[in-house]
Amino acid sequence: KCIVHWFKTDLRASDNSALSAASQAAKDSSLPLITVYLFSAKDLKAHRVSKARIDFILRSLSSLRQTLAELHIPLCVEWVDEKLPVSTRLLDLCKEWQATEIWANMEYEVDELRRDTKLIRSFAEKRIKFNVLHDTCVVQPGSVATKEGKQYSVFTPWFRAWSEFVSGHHKSLQSRPSLHANTDNEVLKYWDDLFEQKMPDIPSHHKLEVTDADRLSGLWPAGEAAANHTLETFIKNKLRQYKNTRDFPFVNGTSHISVHLAAGTLSARSAVRAALEVTPTLTDAWIREVAWRDFYRHVLAHWPYVCMNKPFKLRIADIEWEYNDEHFRAWTQGRTGYPIVDAAMRELLSTGYMPNRCRMIVASFLAKHLMLDWKMGENWFMEHLIDGDFSSNNGGWGFCASAGVDAQPYFRILNPLLQSEKFDPDGIYIRKWVPELANCTSKQVHAPHSRGFSNTHEYPEPIVDHKVARERALARYKLAS
Ligand code: FAD
């Protein structure tokens, strides 16, 4: 017999609600705790999980397995047969292991909620108790509401309520109790042999090229220790300047913890706790950003239709989009002729990451300058981001395309030239990612073709004219608003 913890997007041993509770339950019942992570090729495809993210998850699992091994807690990792749903395999494994209880943290996306609701019933039929806990948000969805008891759809009042809630409920930031070590060595040897202390082979269509894998593992060290190191370094060296530097892509003034929050190698609670050691207030600019992540999760939990291919503002679904494969391809490959857009899209392809300001510029450009359905951009991001996270990505795209909750008004159309001049004045970021423009002057680099840069043959002309595109977007959005 045993107690099982099922890892999902919570790949850490510390400050993990369900894992901690499972460990306590194991101690109370004198049973071993064993843990499991299941890859489903079908789910990865359905959720457009990027290869970079799969690789990051695998590397995080490797490090998690070592951490857990020190506590004699085995971790089973499996690729589930493409024809089977994860839930079927999980049920079979728990039956085989004679589990009495299984614990997991909740995911708020519709498919995941449906899966877990069904699992509660199926486990109950097998007399196995399935416990699902809130963990991923600092404040769990449903805890803050307007005076009328409704879900907020505007961030600022929501954030006020969020901060008040956290101040009044100290437990929301408290770290979850540490794990107890498994003790019965003979039983543990049995599990170790069963799981054969190695990672399973990854199906080749999910594998990164070796050079990409090397580059990404250098850029994004995985696992809990790397997450804590990244967080501590940021808090110590950059947090105080964050407010002034965060929007400038060439400064590198942000934390880069999104990849860890997405894989769960770090808890959002730990991030806020660490910041509060340096900044006295919950309304600090950086904590406010971490709270955006909670906000979009609350939105998703309350309005699940945003998960079902529908915009939060349903009327936006009626907008007339362009169908232009050439434009979409130019956008994805960083060949639109707008240097700031191209630099950002090329950074994404190379690193799996893009700074927030650039995400806003390229998203607005796709939806408003190119009038291409923002869902195509949302999907492309998921397929390439190493920190791809459904609710933050969907929320960010909805915001920029004026289709989401608390979105930009439709007539706010970011001007890529002005954004470029304001946030990358000397073109340092552009030159890094668009080497064709390395020899431009600081003025030319933002618009090489119209500002007399002589060596433009390698760099494309702008694929749309800003003024014409702006007028078209205003007219189309007005009709749908
Ligand atoms: P920091 O600036 O250091 O912020 C700290 C943390 O706060 C981030 O790690 C993140 O968890 C959270 N955060 C910051 N800004 C936002 C925001 N606008 N919305 C939600 N959470 C935020 N973030 C993702 O984690 N995954 C995504 O798939 C994603 N897609 C996005 C798509 C678009 C179009 C836009 C505009 C934003 C998107 N974001 C996404 C939000 C944001 O761009 C990233 O979280 C941030 O750039 C990550 O870098 P960082 O960790 O250095 O952030």
Please give the single-letter amino acid code of residue 128.
I
pLDDT digits (tens, 9 = 90+) for 234-264: 999 999 999 999 999 999 999 999 999 999 9
pLDDT band of 334, cuts 50, 70, 90: very high
Residues 383 and 377 sit within 8 Å (Cβ to Cβ): no
DSSP per-residue string spanning 11-68: --SSS-HHHHHHHHHHHHHT--EEEEEEEEHHHHHHTT--HHHHHHHHHHHHHHHHHH
Ligand 1 in reach of 396 Cβ (< 6 A): yes
pLDDT at 196 over 80: no
What are φ and ψ of residue 102, in 5° steps? Answer: -130, 140
Rounded to the nearest integer, the mean pLDDT of the chain is 94
CA distance linking residue 345 with residue 342, whole number of Å: 5
CA distance linking residue 67 with residue 239, whole number of Å: 29
pLDDT band of 313, cuts 50, 70, 90: confident
Tell me the average pLDDT across 196-218.
Answer: 83
Q: List the chain domain ranges.
A: 1-135, 137-169+211-302, 314-480
Say whether 294 counts as a known binding-site residue. yes
Please give the single-letter amino acid code of residue 267.
S
DSSP 3-state of 465: coil
Say whether 54 counts as a known binding-site residue. no
Indicate if 356 belongs to the active site. yes
pLDDT digits (tens, 9 = 90+) for 371-394: 999 999 999 999 999 999 999 999
Locus of tokens 């991923």:
136
Percent of the chain with pLDDT over 90: 85
Instruction: Give kind and range of the element (H or E) at residue 397.
Output: helix 390-400
Please give the single-letter amino acid code of residue 149.
G
CA distance linking residue 427 with residue 462, whole number of Å: 17
What architecture is domain 314-480? Orthogonal Bundle (1.10)
pLDDT attached to residue 197: 62
Query: Which of 367, 333, 343, 363 is closest to 445 using CA atoms?
Result: 343
How would you classify the pairing of strands 75-80 and 33-40?
Answer: parallel
Ligand 1 in reach of 377 Cβ (< 6 A): no
Residues 98 and 3 sit within 8 Å (Cβ to Cβ): no
Task: Kindly state the tokens that stand for 389.
Answer: 């996270």
Locus of tokens 């470029």:
420
Interacting residues of 214 by C-beta distance below 8 A, sequence separation 6+: none
Please choose from 230, 392, 402, 412 the residue to mutate so as to test ligand 1's pocket, defined by most ligand atoms within 8 A of CB: 392
Q: What angle do CA 317, 107, 374 make, to 5 degrees?
A: 25
**Whose alpha carbon is nearest atom 11 of ligand 1?**
258
pLDDT attached to residue 203: 74
Percent of the chain with pLDDT over 70: 99
Query: Which of 139, 145, 147, 137 is closest to 170 using CA atoms?
Result: 139
What strands, in cross-sheet order, belong to the sheet with 99-105? 75-80, 33-40, 2-7, 99-105, 129-133
Ligand 1 in reach of 290 Cβ (< 6 A): yes
Spacing, Cα 276 to ligand 1 middle (Å): 19
pLDDT at 169 over 90: yes
Catalytic residue, chosen from 228, 397, 421, 433, is 397
Locus of tokens 């999907």:
379
Q: Residue 38 forms beta bridges with which residues? A: 78
Looking at the CA of residue 395, tell me the nearest atom of ligand 1. 19
CA distance linking residue 142 with residue 130, whole number of Å: 22
Q: HSE (CB half, 13 Å, CA atoms) of 263?
A: 32
Locus of tokens 């299984």:
102
Residues 79 and 41 sit within 8 Å (Cβ to Cβ): yes
Burial 292-311 (b: 16+ CB within 10 A, else e): bbbbbbbbbbbeeebbeeeb
Q: At what angle do helices 339-351 and 374-384 cross, to 10 degrees?
A: 40
Distance of CA 28 to the CA centre of its chain: 35
pLDDT attached to residue 385: 98
Please give the single-letter amino acid code of residue 355.
P
Say whether 293 counts as a known binding-site residue. yes
Total number of residues shown for the chain: 481
Indicate if 321 belongs to the active site. yes
Spacing, Cα 356 to ligand 1 middle (Å): 6
Ligand 1 in reach of 360 Cβ (< 6 A): yes
Spacing, Cα 291 to ligand 1 middle (Å): 10
pLDDT digits (tens, 9 = 90+) for 264-303: 999 999 999 999 999 989 889 999 999 999 999 999 999 9
**Which CATH number, 3.40.50.620, 1.10.2020.10, 3.40.50.2300, 3.40.980.10, labels domain 1-135?**
3.40.50.620
Spacing, Cα 145 to ligand 1 middle (Å): 24
Question: Is the whole model's pTM more than 0.80, yes or no?
Answer: yes
Distance of CA 396 to the CA centre of its chain: 11
Domain 137-169+211-302's class? mainly alpha
Tell me the average pLDDT across 65-90.
Answer: 92
Indicate if 237 belongs to the active site. no
pLDDT at 435 over 80: yes
Locus of tokens 């091994």:
69
**Whose alpha carbon is nearest atom 44 of ligand 1?**
356
Neighbours of 229 (CB within 10 A): 12
Residues 215 and 58 sit within 8 Å (Cβ to Cβ): no
311, 313, 317, 321 alpha-carbon torsion, rounded to 10°: -90
pLDDT digits (tens, 9 = 90+) for 460-477: 999 999 999 999 999 999
Q: At what angle do helices 374-384 and 390-400 cross, to 10 degrees?
A: 150
Say whether 291 counts as a known binding-site residue. yes
Neighbours of 76 (CB within 10 A): 19
How would you classify the pairing of strands 75-80 and 129-133?
Answer: unpaired
pLDDT at 453 over 90: no
DSSP 3-state of 361: helix
pLDDT band of 83, cuts 50, 70, 90: confident
